[in-house]
Amino acid sequence: MLSCVNGAFSERWYQVAVTNGKQADRLEAEWGDIITPDKMADALKAKSYEAVTIVHNETSTGVENPLKELAAVVHDVSPNTLILVDAVSSMGGVKIETDAWGVDFILTSSQKCFAMPPGMSFAAVSDRALERAEKVENRGWYFDLLRLEKHRIKNSTPMTPTMSLIWALDVQLDKMLAEGLDNRFARHQAMAERVQSWAVEHGMEPLAPQGYRSKTVSTIKNLRGVDIAALNKFLLTKGMRLSNGYGDLKNKTFRIAHMGETKMHHVDELLEAFEAFMENM
């Protein structure tokens, strides 16, 4: 398989492949850059792969990889290659056209744009991925897609599921549908634009290139040399906090999440407090 790696979570997916004994090559870009469709095309022309793994929204760098274009290249250059997508921090906040783009497997978790407690994962699987799964030996029990599908069809689960989160999901899906998906996606985009333009106005800039900036989490270069620990200490007095940069990006960047049930007035409140902190730096 071919693992696209341009951040902490795509690196993790590569590790998942390797620790499961799969032969995996890395298609890399710098942290903060995207995986380009051209690079993907070159890699697929050079070697045959059963599957590619793509992290749609890199929570570590605030980069949204161009999933639609990457999927189109895979279908064009290597139509038998399965397209596996981690949409943990984007699904539910950003429009993803699973069928139209021809995604074979896409997963997310409950605690990001679904705004629920963590502890549950959701996935969509294509028919051809299920057919391919039949030929996989030693699929295991817990993560066997065919076993899960068999039970899904009869509205069941193979093992006792996390019931309290399923009830919470029922409530949250109603809320999401009441807001309307297009409204939800527009809200995420508006919050992203607000944070990212605010950063530029205050002498900083997003790590991701224009056009590929995440709508759910902004990773901002810390060009003003803000003491992130001190900032968080100040923010916590007001019941807020933001995330430091991930791994090597710690202190060089910081991250502002704007996803799930976060609304524009929350973003405004955070940015006002951030400004107040910088005025006293």
Annotate each residue in 193-232 with x if it binds a copy of itself (CB under 8 A) or - if it does not, as one string.
Answer: ----------------------------------------
- State yes or no: residue 132 binds a copy of itself (CB under 8 A): no
| E strand segments, the chain | 2-5, 25-28, 51-55, 57-58, 63-64, 82-86, 105-109, 121-125, 205-206, 217-221, 243-244, 253-257
Among 41, 72, 77, 165, binds a copy of itself (CB under 8 A): 165
Choose the stretch contacting a copy of itself; rule: CB under 8 A; options: 95-103, 162-170, 222-230, 243-251: 162-170
Q: Does 19 bind a copy of itself (CB under 8 A)?
A: yes
- CA dist 124 and 219 (Å) reads 28
Q: Which of residues 48-87 bind a copy of itself (CB under 8 A)?
A: none
CB of 56 to a copy of itself, least distance (A): 17
Q: Sort strands 217-221 and 205-206 into parallel, antiparallel or unpaired.
A: antiparallel
Cβ closest to a copy of itself, residue 138 vs residue 155 = 138
Residue 247 binds a copy of itself, judged by CB under 8 A? no
CB 146 within 8 A of CB 139: yes
1 binds a copy of itself (CB under 8 A): no
- From CA 83, how far away is CA 222, in angstroms rounded? 35
Query: Would you count residue 160 as binding a copy of itself (CB under 8 A)?
Result: yes
> Checking DSSP bridges between strand 82-86 and strand 51-55, what pairing results, if any?
parallel
Q: Is 139 in the site for a copy of itself (CB under 8 A)?
A: yes
- When binding is defined by CB under 8 A, the residue of 142, 155, 170, 203 that contacts a copy of itself is 142
Instruction: Answer for the pair 122, 108: CB distance below 8 angstroms, yes or no.
Output: yes
